[in-house]
C-alpha cells in the first residue's frame, strides 16, 4: 500500500509552491516518514523555519508551525524549546537562510547543544529570490550575482555544525530519499542539537545556469558525488576528490542545553531556601 | 508585615517589576545602559522556575522572546538604541503575528554607538516607527524607579491584553539612578494574563476577528496546532494576498489599539488647571520640568507640567486641549526634537510650541526650561 502522506499534511494547503523537479518535496516526505517513525504528537511538535523556498515547508505540515524571518529560525526555535522543553522542535530551511543571514544563530544553536533537529536543505543557491549565490554555491559556478563564476569559497555545512558543537551531524541527498527519513528520525531521537544536511537540487535557478540539462542530470550528480562514510574509510584521497560523505558523520553524548538550564533552576531554588 | 523596601536602580526595579508581572522568559544581549535588567533577571528568573538566556545578538534575543511567547511564556528583552535598531524587523514580526512581549529600551544617545553611558531620549520615534510597514505601537515612559517597577508591570498587562509587543522606554538617568522602591504585595498591582482560548483545537483560528479585535492566542504545546507567519495572512494564520483580507487584517491590528487608546493612555498633570504655559516632558526630563514649574510659580508665572506615561499611542486629546488653553507649550526632551513634532501636529497652531533640546549627554536642567518659558511668554 502506498504511504499515506496526506494525513500529515494540512487539508487544503496543497499544491505547494515548489517548482517541478525541486527536491524540497522529497525532503518533506522524508520528514513526514521520520515524524511517523518517531510517533510524534504533532500538538507537541513545533516545526520552525526562516524565509526561502525550503522555509515554506512548515505551512504544509500538521503541527505547531512557525514561519519566521529570514535566517532567524534557530533563534525562534531556541525560545520555543527553552520555554517548553517538552516540545519536539524541528527546524528546517535553506542553505542561504541557515548559513548566511542565519549563520550566527545556527552556530550558536549548535554550540548550546539545544535539543532540536535542524534539517537544512542545501540546494546551493538562493532559490526564492531567483538564483543569487549562497555560501554553499560551489566556487566557479554561476548564479545571477556571479555571472563570471563564483569567486567565493564555500561553507561545508556539516563540518561547520560539527565544529560549532552539534552532537549529531548527518548528511544525505535528495536522491537518497529513503535515507532522509532514517537520518532525520535518528536526529529527532538524539538528545541535543542534530543537524541533517540534505544536498538538494534547484533546477530552476541553479541547474539552468550551470548546464544541468534536466532534473535527472542533477539527481544523477547527487547520486555520483555521495559516498557513504563507511565506504569512504577504505578510499584514497584521490578517489574521494569531488565526493561528499553521507550518513552519520558525527555523534556524541554531551549535556543538553535545557537540561543544563534545569540544573541552574535547581541551584537557584536551592540557594533561595 | 512591613512591605519590602529597597534602594535600587531603575534597571533593577524594571527586572523586579517584570517578575511581579509574571515574566518567565528573558532573552537578551548585553548593552549599556540596560545590562542590569539582564543581570538581575539572570539571578531572579530561575528562582521562580523562569528561563534566562543570553543570546548571540539582539536579533536572536528578539527571536527567542517571540518563540517563547508563542509557547505561552511572558517574555521580555532589554536593550538600548543600537539593540532596538537590530530588533526592528522582528518587532514588526511580533506586531503582525500578534505576539505579546515586552521590549525595554534604556535610552542613550545616538545615532549609532553614540554615548553608551550618557542619557538620551533618542528612541521615542524609533519606538513608534521602528519597523517596516503600518502598525500600532504602545510605548511607556516611566520617570522614577518606583514607576519603572509599576510601568513594567503595566507593559506586560498591555502586551497580554492587546496581544502585541509593548516597549518601555526610560533614559539612562532613571535607569541608573538609585531610589527607594516599595515592592507591592501580590494582588496590589493588577496582573493580566492573556485571554484563554475557549474553542476546541479543531475550531481554533489564531486571527479570528469574530472573536473580537484581539482574538485569543493559544500556546504551542497546549494541544492547539496552528500556523504563525510574518506574511500577511487570513484568520487561520495562513498566508493570503487577497486584497480585502490583507486590508481588513492590517486595519484590525491598528484599530485594536487606536480605538481603545483611552484604556492605554496614562498621564500626569501638575499645576495645569490654570496654566498659561505648559511644559510637555517625559522621563527624567519631566523631573527637571516639575522643579521648573515650582520655581516659575514662585516667580508668579502660571506654569504647569504635562507628563505622558504613555508616549504611544500619543496623548492627543489632552495635548490638544492644553494647546487650546495655554499660550505656549514648551517641549523638553533629550534629543534635537522628536516628540515636539507630535505636539505641533495636534496643537494645530492653537498655541506657540517651543522646544528645549539637549544631546550632549547632560540632563536638561530646570534653568534651561525656565529660560525658554520666559522667552515664549
Ligand atoms: C532580511 C531579509 N533579507 C533578504 C530577504 C530575501 N530573501 C528571501 S529568501 C532568500 C534566500 C533563500 O535562499 P535559501 O535559504 O538558500 O532557500 P531556498 O529558497 O533556496 O530554498 C532571500 C535572500 C528576506 N526575506 N529578508
Q: Residue A271: pLDDT band by 50, 70, 90 thresholds? A: low
* From A69, A83, A261, residue closest to B71, measured CB to CB: A83
Can you give the pLDDT at residue B170? 97
Quote the percentage of chain B above a pLDDT of 90: 97
Residue A199 CB contacts under 8 Å (≥ 6 apart), including other chains: A122, A171, A172, A173, A174, A222, A225, A226, A244
With beta carbons less than 8 A apart as the criterion, state whether B62 and B77 touch. Answer: yes
* From A62, A75, A264, residue closest to B55, measured CB to CB: A75
**Which of A94, A100, A105 maximizes ligand 1 atoms within 8 Å of its Cβ, making it the mutation to test the pocket?**
A94
Q: Residue B117: pLDDT band by 50, 70, 90 thresholds? A: confident
Does pLDDT of B280 surpass 60?
yes
Average pLDDT of the segment spanning B44-57: 98
DSSP structural state of residue B63: H
Residue A198 Cβ contacting ligand 1 at under 6 Å:
no
Can you give the pLDDT at residue A33? 98
Residue A204: closest CA among A193, A212, A195, A196: A212
0.95 surpassed by complex ipTM:
yes
pLDDT in tens, A201-228: 999 999 999 999 899 999 999 999 999 9
Residue A123 Cβ contacting ligand 1 at under 6 Å:
yes
Q: A135 C-alpha to center of ligand 1: Å?
A: 12
Does pLDDT of A1 surpass 80?
no
Distance, in Å, from the CA atom of B264 to the CA atom of B103, rounded to the nearest integer, reads: 17
Q: Do B224 and A64 touch (CB under 8 A)?
A: yes
Distance, in Å, from the CA atom of A174 to the CA atom of A202, rounded to the nearest integer, reads: 11
| Interface of chain A toward chain B, CB-CB under 8 angstroms | 10, 13, 42-44, 46, 48, 58-59, 62-69, 72, 75-80, 82-84, 86-87, 104-105, 108, 261, 264-265, 267-269, 271-272
Residue nearest atom 2 in ligand 1 by C-alpha distance: A70
Tell me what the pLDDT averaged over chain B comes to: 97
**Which of A23, A99, A129, A137 maximizes ligand 1 atoms within 8 Å of its Cβ, making it the mutation to test the pocket?**
A129
Can you give the pLDDT at residue B88? 98
Does pLDDT of A272 surpass 60?
no
Does pLDDT of A273 surpass 60?
no
Distance, in Å, from the CA atom of B272 to the CA atom of B274, rounded to the nearest integer, reads: 6
**Residue A219 CB: number of other CB atoms within 10 A?**
19
Taking the CA of residue B89 as reference, the ligand 1 atom at the shortest distance is 1
Please report residues of B whose CB lies closer than 8 A to that of A76: 63-64, 66-67
With beta carbons less than 8 A apart as the criterion, state whether A198 and A172 touch. Answer: yes
Q: Grid coordinates standing for A172?
A: 544525505
Can you give the pLDDT at residue B3? 86
Q: A53 C-alpha to center of ligand 1: Å?
A: 8
- pTM exceeds cut of 0.90: yes
Residue B249: closest CA among B206, B189, B203, B207: B207
pLDDT in tens, B63-76: 999 999 999 999 99
Q: Do A79 and B63 touch (CB under 8 A)?
A: yes
3-state DSSP percent of chain A in helix, strand and coil, to 5: 45, 20, 35
Residue A65 CB contacts under 8 Å (≥ 6 apart), including other chains: A46, A47, A48, A58, A59, B225, B226, B227, B228
For residue B70, the surrounding DSSP H or E stretch is helix B58-70
Q: Do A75 and B67 touch (CB under 8 A)?
A: yes
Distance, in Å, from the CA atom of B270 to the CA atom of B279, rounded to the nearest integer, reads: 10
With beta carbons less than 8 A apart as the criterion, state whether B149 and B104 touch. Answer: no
Can you give the pLDDT at residue B72? 98
- Report the gap between the CA of A116 and the closest CA in chain B (Å): 14
Q: A54 C-alpha to center of ligand 1: Å?
A: 9
Q: Residue B79: pLDDT band by 50, 70, 90 thresholds? A: very high
Residue A127 Cβ contacting ligand 1 at under 6 Å:
yes
Average pLDDT of the segment spanning B141-156: 98
Does pLDDT of A43 surpass 90?
yes
**Strand A132-133 relative to strand A125-126, pairing:** antiparallel
Quote the percentage of chain B above a pLDDT of 70: 100
- Is B89 at the interface with chain A, CB within 8 A? yes
Does pLDDT of B342 surpass 60?
yes
Average pLDDT of the segment spanning B357-366: 96
Q: Do A62 and B93 touch (CB under 8 A)?
A: no
Does pLDDT of B293 surpass 60?
yes
pLDDT in tens, B297-314: 999 999 999 999 999 999
For residue B169, the surrounding DSSP H or E stretch is strand B165-171
Count Cα neighbours of A114 within 13 Å in the Cβ-side half-sphere. Answer: 31
Amino acid at each position: 500500500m502506498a504511504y499515506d502522506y496526506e494525513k500529515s499534511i494540512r487539508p487544503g494547503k496543497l499544491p505547494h509552491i515548489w517548482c517541478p523537479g525541486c527536491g524540497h518535496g522529497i525532503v518533506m516526505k522524508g520528514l513526514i516518514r521520520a515524524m511517523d517513525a518517531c510517533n510524534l504528537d504533532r500538538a507537541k511538535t513545533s516545526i520552525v523555519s526562516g524565509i526561502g523556498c525550503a522555509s515554506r515547508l512548515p505551512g504544509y505540515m500538521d503541527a505547531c508551525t512557525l514561519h519566521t524571518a529570514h535566517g532567524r529560525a534557530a533563534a525562534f526555535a531556541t525560545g520555543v524549546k527553552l520555554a517548553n522543553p517538552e516540545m519536539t522542535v524541528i527546524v528546517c530551511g535553506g542553505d542561504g537562510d541557515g548559513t548566511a543571514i542565519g549563520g550566527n544563530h545556527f552556530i550558536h544553536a549548535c554550540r548550546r547543544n539545544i535539543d532540536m533537529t535542524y534539517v537544512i536543505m542545501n540546494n546551493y543557491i538562493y532559490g526564492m529570490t531567483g538564483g543569487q549565490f549562497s555560501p554553499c554555491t560551489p566556487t566557479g559556478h554561476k548564479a545571477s550575482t556571479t555571472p563570471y563564476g563564483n569567486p567565493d569559497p564555500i561553507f561545508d555545512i556539516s563540518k561547520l555544525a560539527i565544529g560549532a558543537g552539534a552532537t549529531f551531524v548527518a548528511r544525505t541527498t535528495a536522491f537518497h530519499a529513503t535515507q532522509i527519513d532514517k537520518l532525520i528520525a535518528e536526529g529527532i531521537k538524539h538528545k541535543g542539537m542534530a543537524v541533517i544536511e540534505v544536498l538538494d537540487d534547484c533546477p530552476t535557478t541553479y541547474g539552468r545556469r550551470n548546464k544541468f540539462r534536466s532534473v535527472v542530470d542533477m539527481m544523477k550528480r547527487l547520486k555520483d558525488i555521495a559516498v557513504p562514510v563507511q565506504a569512504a574509510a577504505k578510499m584514497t584521497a584521490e578517489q574521494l576528490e569531488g565526493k561528499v560523505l553521507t550518513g552519520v558523520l558525527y555523534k556524541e553524548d554531551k549535556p543538553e542545553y535545557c537540561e543544563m538550564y534545569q540544573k541552574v533552576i535547581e541551584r537557584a531554588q536551592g540557594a533561595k531556601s | 508585615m512591613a512591605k519590602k523596601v529597597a534602594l535600587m536602580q531603575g534597571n533593577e526595579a524594571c527586572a523586579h517589576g517584570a517578575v511581579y508581572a509574571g515574566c518567565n522568559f528573558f532573552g537578551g544581549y548585553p548593552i549599556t545602559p540596560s545590562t542590569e535588567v539582564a543581570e538581575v533577571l539572570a539571578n531572579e528568573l530561575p528562582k521562580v522556575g523562569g528561563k534566562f538566556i543570553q543570546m548571540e545578538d539582539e536579533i536572536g534575543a528578539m527571536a527567542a522572546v517571540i518563540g517563547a511567547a508563542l509557547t505561552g511564556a511572558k517574555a521580555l528583552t532589554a536593550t538600548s538604541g543600537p539593540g532596538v535598531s537590530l530588533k526592528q524587523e522582528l518587532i514588526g514580526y511580533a506586531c503582525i503575528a500578534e505576539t505579546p512581549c515586552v521590549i525595554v529600551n534604556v535610552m542613550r544617545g545616538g545615532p549609532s554607538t553614540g554615548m553608551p553611558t550618557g542619557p538620551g531620549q533618542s528612541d521615542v520615534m524609533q519606538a513608534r516607527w521602528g519597523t517596516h510597514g503600518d502598525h500600532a505601537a504602545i510605548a511607556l515612559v516611566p520617570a522614577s524607579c518606583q514607576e519603572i517597577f509599576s510601568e513594567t508591570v503595566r507593559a506586560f498587562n498591555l502586551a497580554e491584553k492587546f496581544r502585541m509587543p509593548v516597549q518601555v522606554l526610560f533614559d539612562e538617568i532613571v535607569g541608573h539612578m538609585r531610589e527607594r522602591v516599595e515592592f507591592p504585595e501580590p494582588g496590589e498591582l493588577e496582573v493580566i494574563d492573556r485571554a484563554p482560548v475557549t474553542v476546541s483545537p479543531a475550531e481554533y483560528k489564531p486571527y479570528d476577528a469574530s472573536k473580537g479585535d484581539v482574538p485569543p492566542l493559544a500556546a504551542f504545546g497546549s494541544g492547539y496546532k496552528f500556523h504563525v507567519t510574518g506574511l500577511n495572512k487570513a484568520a487561520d494564520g495562513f498566508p493570503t494576498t487577497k486584497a480585502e483580507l490583507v486590508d481588513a487584517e492590517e486595519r484590525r491590528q491598528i484599530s485594536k489599539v487606536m480605538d481603545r487608546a483611552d484604556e492605554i493612555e496614562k498621564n500626569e498633570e501638575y499645576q495645569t488647571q490654570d496654566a498659561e504655559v505648559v511644559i510637555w516632558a517625559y522621563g527624567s526630563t519631566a523631573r527637571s520640568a516639575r522643579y521648573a514649574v515650582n520655581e516659575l510659580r514662585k516667580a508668579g508665572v502660571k506654569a504647569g507640567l504635562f507628563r505622558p506615561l504613555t508616549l504611544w499611542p500619543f496623548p492627543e486629546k489632552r495635548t490638544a486641549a492644553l494647546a487650546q488653553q495655554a499660550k505656549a507649550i514648551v517641549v523638553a526632551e533629550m534629543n534635537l526634537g522628536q516628540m515636539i513634532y507630535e505636539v505641533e501636529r495636534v496643537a494645530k497652531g492653537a498655541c506657540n510650541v517651543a522646544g528645549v533640546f539637549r544631546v550632549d549627554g547632560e540632563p536638561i536642567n530646570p534653568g534651561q526650561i525656565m529660560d525658554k518659558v520666559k522667552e515664549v511668554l
